Structure 1
């Protein structure tokens, strides 16, 4: 017995199967034109529709598409009223159609809930979904510190801090594109930063658990225009992100003692950030392949929903 999960985020088409213990995620990044900083929603939706059959084919070739008992999909960015992005319609509509065709239940989840579930599972701590914890959702569009509480088979996340303007992922991506790297630039900036000769830093002013990163984009631009080595610029940006997130995490742990910290989202796959938060905050991280956008978390939540519906959870 297995369940199918779909996630069509702004930059990745994903389909995953979960059988209660393990599973398989198939995903593909959306194409962004060189030099551009993102996609229009209409373009993202179009690419998802084209790419979803390819992900099903990968799962079929791996022997995963059999005895599917439920289908789930990410239908919105966050589980709050008014949270909406057109790109999620691709997975939601195909998921509902598949469920109706197979005669199995369909379960809707949010993209953020899927991230948290995938992170907890791949970190070896799925039990976190049944207790309160602190979490970072760090991605190209989101830098949020969350207070997460269990809510039946899923979780509810309250934003208690994070960026007030551009996200950590946007700062990293804009740095990469400014240095001539392809978008999304997270992995390339990470690799480039390891060649740095200088360890440039600049403190970001904190407001409780919140902060602004737009000023750091200006600092980055000043370094580039001043002829700084690209590797040093890359390291500067990552230092800013790592130092800021670590300081805010430590403050939150003092306010909420005893709660573990879980990190999810594409930026959470950054090697430097993982080292800093593990050392300074004992943070838990998803495996890198489940830090970036994926459908595994959606499949895991769908499994839990089916278990609850059939009285086994």
Structure 2
């Protein structure tokens, strides 16, 4: 059994992963955002993680620590120098204490690496983590198209090759939702609204070398709201615009990197975006439980780093590393 902890910007998460059968126990709690607000300051997120992490850990079976062989925690957004957010300190502090008390190894990864591992597992494709693939990470704070390949230890190493140059898809969706009177985060509620609106022509987002901007789209949404478009029409317009931009960027990326496409992040749980990506590119998706922030991928990476070899890294990649 391996323990994973993730205290990202909007969810407190803990998971236990059983590498013998690939099953997991996953518990998380979305951080409280006041009505009408578009997010939290890092000090507020850190406080809430500190307050609630023990509650999530207490949901694991009593005595499970006797079975834990290693602990892993996300300590930064991305696995690059200078990537830092204070909210991860809450999880790191607890993880270091737990590993010390249990007398087991402690491993650290990035939030993004955990996302990638969880998404592959949730799609039933752990084997992707042993090869090259493209990955979309669409969440409340991230809209990145990644080229991913494993390092010598099997950890996913990601390079950004596309995505947004300003606000993320999740930010656009949340801002549109709050404008329409929905609670933050607004993704699920906006998807329901879109079902009641007619599908119109999406905003012509310019996509060049896999990158695009959503700032003009936000201005358009505000204009539509002022011009008395229905909530359903606006919701549909936002979702379809995101879907079209993502598809065009994927198409451009596949011309350079013809490999499988994996989709992760809360925005990718939208049914319309999923269907279009699946139909056009045969993309793989995490199950809903593992699409958003969670600690399952972090726990899986604990097992991989501890020598369990959940996925094989080819010799060609090992020699390159």
Aligned to 1:276: 276
Cα separation, 2, equivalents of 1:96 and 1:47: 19
1:308 Cα shift?
5.5
TM-score scaled by length of structure 1: 0.96
Cα separation, 2, equivalents of 1:104 and 1:179: 49
1:244 Cα shift?
0.6
Aligned to 1:213: 214
Would the aligned equivalents of 1:200 and 1:235 in 2 still touch at CA under 8 Å? no
Aligned to 1:256: 257
Deviations 1:266-309, CA, capped at 9 Å, x for gaps: 11111111111001111110001111100000000011111269
Structure 1 segment 40-189 matched on structure 2, within 5 A: 40-60=41-61, 65-151=65-151, 152-189=153-190
1:160 Cα shift?
0.6
Cα separation, 2, equivalents of 1:251 and 1:87: 35
Aligned to 1:31: 32
1:199 Cα shift?
2.2
Which segments of 5 or more consecutive residues in structure 1 lack a partner in the other structure?
Answer: none
Aligned to 2:3: 4
Structure 1 residues 241 and 131: alpha-carbon distance in aligned structure 2, compared to 1, 3 A threshold: same
Deviations 1:128-148, CA, capped at 9 Å, x for gaps: 111010011111111011000
Aligned to 1:18: 17
1:64 Cα shift?
5.1
Deviates more, 1:79-88 or 1:271-280: 271-280
Cα separation, 1, equivalents of 2:102 and 2:127: 30
Which segments of 5 or more consecutive residues in structure 2 lack a partner in the other structure?
Answer: 314-321
Aligned to 1:304: 304
Cα separation, 1, equivalents of 2:2 and 2:199: 49
Cα separation, 2, equivalents of 1:59 and 1:186: 29
TM-score scaled by length of structure 2: 0.93
Say which SS state the counterpart of residue 44 (structure 1) adopts: helix
Say which SS state the counterpart of residue 81 (structure 1) adopts: coil
Say which SS state the counterpart of residue 98 (structure 1) adopts: helix
Would the aligned equivalents of 1:59 and 1:65 in 2 still touch at CA under 8 Å? no
Cα separation, 1, equivalents of 2:7 and 2:88: 5
Cα separation, 2, equivalents of 1:214 and 1:268: 20
Would the aligned equivalents of 1:200 and 1:232 in 2 still touch at CA under 8 Å? no
Cα separation, 2, equivalents of 1:91 and 1:200: 44
Would the aligned equivalents of 1:24 and 1:64 in 2 still touch at CA under 8 Å? no
Deviations 1:30-52, CA, capped at 9 Å, x for gaps: 00000000001011001001111
Say which SS state the counterpart of residue 59 (structure 1) adopts: coil
Say which SS state the counterpart of residue 204 (structure 2) adopts: coil
Would the aligned equivalents of 1:71 and 1:95 in 2 still touch at CA under 8 Å? yes
Say which SS state the counterpart of residue 181 (structure 2) adopts: coil
Aligned to 2:242: 241
Give runs of ≥4 in structure 1 deviating > 2 Å: 63-66, 197-200
Deviations 1:186-213, CA, capped at 9 Å, x for gaps: 1111111111134242211111110000
Say which SS state the counterpart of residue 193 (structure 2) adopts: helix
Aligned-pair Cα RMSD in Å: 1.5
Structure 1 residues 101 and 176: alpha-carbon distance in aligned structure 2, compared to 1, 3 A threshold: same
Alignment partner of 1:292 is 2:292: yes
1:153 Cα shift?
2.4
1:254 Cα shift?
1.6
Aligned length: 308
